[in-house]
């Protein structure tokens, strides 16, 4: 999971060689009450633990502010909805599982772009995928899958460009010098990112099982991907007969 995280790390340069004497900590010509130092250390520990839980603890359910996009496409009763970043390692790990689930249950897999600002090539990769979408949606998704499969070998925008040229050539597609001269594809990526922000997305990947039936929950977030198939089974059962 990729989310924003920042930790405050106080400087330690003034605390070399302290000597503990009674109720105070002394060094040359300054004193620090132990109670003050203890309070500062406890506060720092609490901040670190909270941040570590946010990064490494059990993921929390996304607080959805705008659920309008969390529904199956027309004609479908159950679907997978995902917001992904092509440079996100956890998205790459989730990709084969989601692909298998969509194929096994023959349900739509709606993939939205949510490039994170700390990644140096994910936005361009999303634009490239949109270019291949213009040839066929299957080709666009094949490009996304290929990027995830080769993600560890792509570190810079130049390497992404080289990878994209090889992908285009192997699929018989002529890659133009400028794949988005009018900025239309970039705007589509931005629109997806804005949609994710309106929904309330804070990390990638964010995955929901969405359903359309009177007695079924309209969307359930996949927090534990080990339960993905179980959640799809449940959604299909709840929509059966409607």
CB contact burial 22-38 (16+ within 10 A = b; e otherwise): eeebeeeeeeeeeeeee
pTM: 0.76
**pLDDT score for 59:** 54
CA 69 to chain centre: 17
* Among 12-16, 43-47, 99-103, the least confident range: 12-16
Q: Which own/partner contact pairs does 116-120 have at CB distance under 8 Å and 24+ positions apart?
A: 116/2, 116/85, 116/87, 116/88, 116/204, 118/4, 119/85, 119/87, 119/88, 120/87, 120/156, 120/157
Lowest mean pLDDT among 17-21, 79-83, 113-117, 145-149: 17-21
Rounded to an integer, the average pLDDT of 54-75 is 79
Q: Which of 38-42, 147-151, 224-228 has the lowest mean pLDDT?
A: 38-42
Element spanning 198, H or E: helix 184-199
| Rounded average pLDDT over 51-74 | 73
What's the pLDDT at 3? 64
**In the chain, domain spans:** 2-56, 78-239
Superfamily of domain 78-239: Glutaredoxin (3.40.30.10)
Greatest Cα-to-Cα distance within the chain, rounded to the nearest angstrom: 81
Q: How would residue 141 be classed by pLDDT, with cut points 50, 70 and 90?
A: very high
pLDDT of residue 45: 46
Q: Which tens digits make up the pLDDT trace of 189-234?
A: 999 999 999 999 999 999 999 999 887 899 999 999 999 999 999 9
pLDDT (mean) for 110-127: 98
> Which of residues 84 and 43 earns the better pLDDT score?
84
pLDDT bracket for residue 70 (50, 70, 90)? very high
């Amino acid at each position: 999971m990729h989310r924003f995280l920042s930790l405050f790390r106080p400087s330690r340069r003034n605390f070399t060689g302290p000597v503990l004497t009674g109720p105070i900590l002394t060094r040359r010509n300054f004193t620090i009450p132990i109670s003050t130092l203890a309070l500062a250390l406890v506060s720092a520990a609490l901040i670190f633990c909270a941040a570590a839980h946010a990064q490494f603890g059990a993921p929390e359910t996304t607080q959805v502010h705008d659920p309008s996009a969390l529904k199956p496409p027309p004609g479908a009763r159950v679907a997978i909805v995902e917001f992904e970043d092509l440079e996100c390692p956890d998205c790459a790990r989730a990709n084969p599982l989601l692909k298998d689930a969509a194929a096994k249950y023959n349900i739509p897999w709606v993939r939205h772009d949510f490039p994170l600002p700390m990644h140096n090539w994910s936005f361009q990769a999303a634009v490239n995928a949109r270019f291949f979408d213009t040839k066929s949606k299957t080709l666009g998704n094949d490009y996304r899958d290929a990027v995830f499969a080769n993600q560890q070998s792509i570190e810079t925008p130049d390497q992404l460009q080289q990878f994209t040229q090889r992908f285009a050539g192997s699929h018989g597609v002529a890659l133009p010098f400028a794949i988005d001269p009018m900025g239309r594809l970039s705007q589509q990526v931005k629109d997806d990112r804005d949609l994710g922000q309106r929904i309330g997305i804070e990390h990638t990947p964010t995955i929901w099982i969405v359903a359309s039936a009177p007695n079924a929950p309209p969307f359930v977030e996949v927090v534990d991907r080990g339960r993905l198939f179980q959640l799809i089974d449940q959604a299909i059962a709840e929509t059966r007969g409607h």
